[in-house]
Structure 1
Amino acid sequence: MASEISYSTPPPPGIYVPAVLFFTEDEELDVLAIKSHVLRLAQGGVTGILVQGSNGEAQHLTHSERKFAIHLTRQTLDENGHKDVLVLAGTGTQSTRETKKLNSDAKEAGASHALILTPSTWRPAMTNDLVVRFHREVADASPIPTMVYNFPTVTAGLDLDSDTIATIGAHPNVVGVKLSCGHLGKLTRLVNTLPAAHFATFIGRSDSFLPAVVMQGAGGIMALVNVAPKTHRRLWDAWRAGSVEEARDIQRMLSSCDAIVSKYGGIGFLKALVSKEFGYGGKTVRGPLAPSSVDGMSVKDTEMMEELLRYEKVAN
């Protein structure tokens, strides 16, 4: 009799944040600001924190910095009564060998799951067969469950379709996907192809959060949570409680403000906004990225962002 396949466990449904990583003005890790941010996110009701997602400037860090940032996040949560908040680690690199090493480092530092970008330096060579082989080989060797990270913007336009993701997701140690492509059709197909007990399908954009939840996605891993964790949690709770109109109104704010973040500088803008509104960190990014400012917004965009921030500061 063939032995039963043993599947790894996906992250639980909920709200996850690809946390920005704060630096001092001389581009060293700002430990106090990082800890303050981790605590505010946890207190805001996130299910987990992704360290070194694209917003965490993973490609700008040394191996030792990557491992330290994961450890610092896990330690900060544990020491402050948030042991139930998961730490995920972005570990995808341009080689299978290095990705395997970073997965081992992530495990040692306290991460529960690894999120894997598909290599894209040699974009013309990355056939579907090669993409599947990469993710399977990484999953075979990983001491923690892995997830597929589909983000065409940072992978030279490489956009995995739902069939390819489902093929990778059949591996017993591949337990989910983050769809930063924001493609709701892709999410719907995956939700209806792979069982939720083995595979969690997360949207990667706040502007698609409620539609993804309506289609029974596992939740979201979303950059705007850096600014408004309580607001995202309130939408999640409202929908689950049947408060559809409230959830729709919150989604209106999230959709507008998600676009504003992209318009005015992405990572740098998020850091500048968090620093201004919550009193820690600064706007320093590592080159070749450029710092951003919150001062250049249009009147309309300023009013929209202020509405979200007011809601965030009173949300339960």
Structure 2
Amino acid sequence: MSKPPPPGIYVPAVLFFDENEELDEEAIEKHVLRLAQGSVTGILVQGSNGEAQHLSHDERKRAIRLTRDTLDSHGFKHVLVIAGTGTQSARETKQLNIDAKEAGASYALVLTPSTWRPAMTKEVILRFHREVADVSPIPTLVYNFPTVTAGLDLDSDTLAELGEHPNIVGTKLSCGHLGKLTRLVTSLPANSFATFIGRSDSFLPALAVSGAGGIMALVNVVPRAHRALLDAWHNGLTEDARKIQGMLAHGDAIASKYGGISFIKALIAHEFGYGGPTVRSPLATASIEKLSGADKALLKELIVFEQSLSESGHTPNEWVDATA
């Protein structure tokens, strides 16, 4: 039976493009390195935030290999790489899992097909994920994100049945449903199935009910802040954890309000000096110039906190090692 990813903080990394929408490898390398230095547990390449559906098979492999090589060459071999591989057919998804393994990924995150939404019965969904996992050279996780699957939202019973497969080792709940997360962590053993929340605004509540951690878009901007919350929670500093959660909840909402993926890229470029807001069409380019005064103040508080952790040489507690 395959083992799940260790608990912790994972980031669905944005993928930077130049003005011609080609991969900006220099910016990608800088981003991967900053995330690793911010003490993430792993990096998800070509998730929804990485514009997976906009990439060719070759670009997917290049992005995975670039991420793995950057981590390895800078002393971060312990940081995991997960590849988003779900497509609209089992056949293509199987091939992408093989490609991901060859490029250096340790796990695959598989989105449920949704083009033929009326045909996606529970039986079909179970068959798809099991068929993919049966032949995958790396363990798979089920990606539940109704926003990008035409509203298709897997319930806890379906996810729990999939979790019985020896090569399906977890799920990312971008639905943010804490009841679903709670049912899963109390139904499946943590040493065989990891349940990750997919939203920063639900990070602390997910930890409170023994979730494995999070795979969250806002980690792209403030990895150290997420690690500080995790450390505070596991050290019994509940009030500190609550304060950080408040900042993350506002940051999550602001990023969504002003353009999601492109806004995150624009914010990173503005605050950390690399990359740019370019996304592939039909997504629209966002700008931080449209921030309201109130939202700008909330973001500034979060960024200042992140920078303070970096300047102080903040070193996270290795609670993962202690609980493995």
TM range (shorter): over 0.9
Other-structure match for 1:53: 47
Identify the residue that residue 297 of structure 1 maps to in structure 2.
291
SS in 2 for 1:295: helix
Residues in 2 aligned to 1:169 and 1:252: alpha-carbon distance in whole angstroms:
32
Equivalent residue for 1:277?
Answer: 271
SS in 1 for 2:289: coil
Is 2:74 the partner of 1:70?
no
SS at match of 1:54: coil
2:4 is aligned to 10
Residues 1:39 and 2:33 are matched in the alignment: yes
| CA shift digits 1:221-251 (9 cap, x unpaired) | 0000000000000000010000000000000
Q: Which stretches of structure 1, 4 residues or longer, exceed 2 Å deviation after superposition?
A: none
Give 2:317's aligned residue: none
* One of 198, 205, 215 as aligned partner of 2:209: 215
Equivalent-residue separation in structure 2 for 1:294 and 1:312 (angstroms): 18
> SS where residue 121 of structure 1 aligns?
coil
Map of 2:308 onto structure 1: 314
**Aligned runs of 1:46-195 on 2, under 5 Å?**
46-195=40-189
Partner of 2:318: none
Partner amino acid, structure 1, of 2:158: T
Q: Which of 22, 25, 30 is the aligned partner of 1:28?
A: 22
Summarize the alignment of residues 248-259 of structure 1 with structure 2, pairs less than 5 Å apart: 248-259=242-253
| Counterparts of 2:3 and 2:239, CA distance in 1 | 33
Aligned to 2:30, the other structure's residue is in SS state helix
3-state SS of 1:17 partner = strand
| Code of the aligned partner of 1:279 | G
Q: Distance in 2 between matches of 1:53 and 1:28?
A: 18
Say which SS state the counterpart of residue 286 (structure 1) adopts: coil
Deviation at 1:268, TM superposition (A): 0.5
Report SS of the residue matched to 2:10: strand
**In structure 1, what is the Cα distance between the partners aligned to 2:229 and 2:47?**
23
2:225 maps to what in 1? 231
- Residue identity (%): 72
Where does structure 2 lack aligned partners over 5 or more consecutive residues?
A: 315-324
Question: Helix, strand or coil for the counterpart of 2:290?
Answer: coil
Distance 1:227 1:89 in 2: 20
**Equivalent residue letter for 2:302:** L
Q: What is the Cα deviation at residue 84 of structure 1?
A: 0.3
Alpha-carbon deviations, 1:9-59, whole Å to 9, x = none? 100000000000000100110000000000000000100000011000000
Tell me the CA shift for residue 77 of structure 1: 0.1
How many matched pairs? 310
Alignment partner, residue 3 of structure 1: none
